[in-house]
Structure 1
Amino acid sequence: MSDLDEIRRKRMAELQAQQAASQQQMQMQAQQQMQQEEAQRQFESQKKQILSQILTSEARNRLANLRLTKPELVQQIEIQLIQSAQAGSLRGKVTDEQLKVLLQQIAGQKREIKITRK
């Protein structure tokens, strides 16, 4: 019986060690996820601050409305505007009219597919 008890104790110790290792791994993953979320929040905060400096209120409203229907397009435009501002190619704030022109340019880059039936 002592051999059986010894095997049980060893197996129990192995299981406890595995459980402790998996809990530690889960804690590390949760910590990494929290760090990523914090970095994302900081990035969004910085992006919002920069956009408020380079866009007029009408242009910000237009982007906010457009974000509801085409979030990918708005993200692309925001990145392009921020890069332009950091490069120093923007003079003054971007107005609603300038934003409309930029939107038309980006929308014009997309290929239209026309299907004709004969």
Structure 2
Amino acid sequence: MSDEDLEQIRRARLQQLQQERGGGGGGGQGGEGSEQDSQRQRENDQRNSILSQILTPDAADRLGRIRLVKESRATDIENRLIMLARTGQIRQKVTEDQLKDILGAVAEQNEKEESKIVVNRRGGNWDDDDELEELMKDV
């Protein structure tokens, strides 16, 4: 292989790595993805700002631990807290105990929404007792 071939391979690999990381380099859609990323980042910053204003440090810590275990549950709780804050129903910072109460309410709501599996057994199936009774008749 010549030095020129190696250089072309290096450039192609560098471009591939930059595209995987979302880094710069000549893609036509790079600006569009960047705009969506910045919008998502602004929304995240706004959420974090609201949560830091309405949660005590202990409550924020508990919410972080909940996020480690089940991210969807933490997101549900955050959404509920933000809704309560925007509607003026939260007048002081939410404590850890209040957060536990909200967590319980969200868990109850999720349990009600979950569908239940019901097994219906049809009649006429034989079981071991039926076979024993049949054998005992012959004796």
Length-normalised TM-score, structure 1: 0.70
Question: 2:70 matched to which residue of 1?
Answer: 70
Higher Rg of the two aligned structures: 2
| Aligned counterparts, 1:1-118, within 5 A | 26-27=27-28, 29-111=29-111, 113=116
Residue type of the partner of 1:86?
R
How far has the Cα of 1:115 moved from its partner? 7.8
Question: What are the ranges of 5 or more consecutive residues in structure 2 without an aligned counterpart?
Answer: 1-26, 120-139
How far has the Cα of 1:97 moved from its partner? 0.3
Q: Aligned partners of 1:48, 1:72: CA distance in 2, in Å?
A: 16
| Cα deviation digits, residues 55-83 of structure 1 (max 9, x gap) | 00000000001101110111111111111
How far has the Cα of 1:108 moved from its partner? 1.3
Q: Which structure carries more relative contact order (alpha carbon 8 Å, separation 6+)?
A: 1
Length-normalised TM-score, structure 2: 0.60
Q: Aligned partners of 1:32, 1:87: CA distance in 2, in Å?
A: 34
| Matched length | 91
- RMSD over aligned Cα, in angstroms? 1.8
How far has the Cα of 1:114 moved from its partner? 7.7
Q: Aligned partners of 1:43, 1:96: CA distance in 2, in Å?
A: 25
Residue type of the partner of 2:49?
Q
SS in 2 for 1:110: helix
How far has the Cα of 1:30 moved from its partner? 1.8
Residue type of the partner of 1:36?
Q
Are the aligned partners of 2:56 and 2:94 in contact in 1 as well (CA < 8 Å)? yes
Question: What are the ranges of 5 or more consecutive residues in structure 1 without an aligned counterpart?
Answer: 1-25
Q: Aligned partners of 2:105, 2:79: CA distance in 1, in Å?
A: 15
Q: Aligned partners of 2:44, 2:54: CA distance in 1, in Å?
A: 15
